Amino acid sequence: MIIRSLFAALSLVAMAGAAHAQDAAAGEKSFAKCRACHQIGETAKNAVGPELNGLIGRHSGSVAGYNYSEANKKSGITWDEATFAEYIKDPKGKIPGTKMAFAGIKNEQEIKDLTAFLKQFGADGKKK
């Protein structure tokens, strides 16, 4: 009986942990919110917003050929998961003066999933 109870408890812990994992497939669906302005992948180009290949590890305001706001260029940000999470919740709050007209994504799991999707793409647009 003790072993069964222990097994059940461990199963619940494992399921709870899985619910908090990053899901790139779910993130791809979330990227639909971004697609109106941003592209990603091997054929990505700058559009209303810069292409997002290799975002994690990249300096803010550094995509060649994109006309960034002064606020974005001078933010000093190097994108990592935590900084991106703060930004995507409230772009204008994180970088006052940014041109990004997006209300943000507030759901923590959706942000994790979107980050997992974006992280798949290297600077060349190829999936890692």
CA 17/CA 117 separation, integer angstroms? 19
Domains along the sequence of the chain with CATH = 22-119 (1.10.760.10)
Average pLDDT, the chain: 89
**Above pLDDT 90, what percent of the chain?**
82
CB 85 within 8 A of CB 77: no
CA 14/CA 8 separation, integer angstroms? 10
Query: Tokens in use for 61?
Result: 């305001």
What pLDDT is recorded for position 20? 66
Query: Tokens in use for 10?
Result: 């461990």
Summarize pLDDT for 11-42 with one digit per residue, the tens.
444 444 445 689 999 999 999 999 999 999 99
Q: What is the pTM of this model?
A: 0.83
Summarize pLDDT for 43-64 with one digit per residue, the tens.
999 999 999 999 999 999 999 9
Residue 7 binned pLDDT confidence (cut-offs 50, 70, 90):
very low
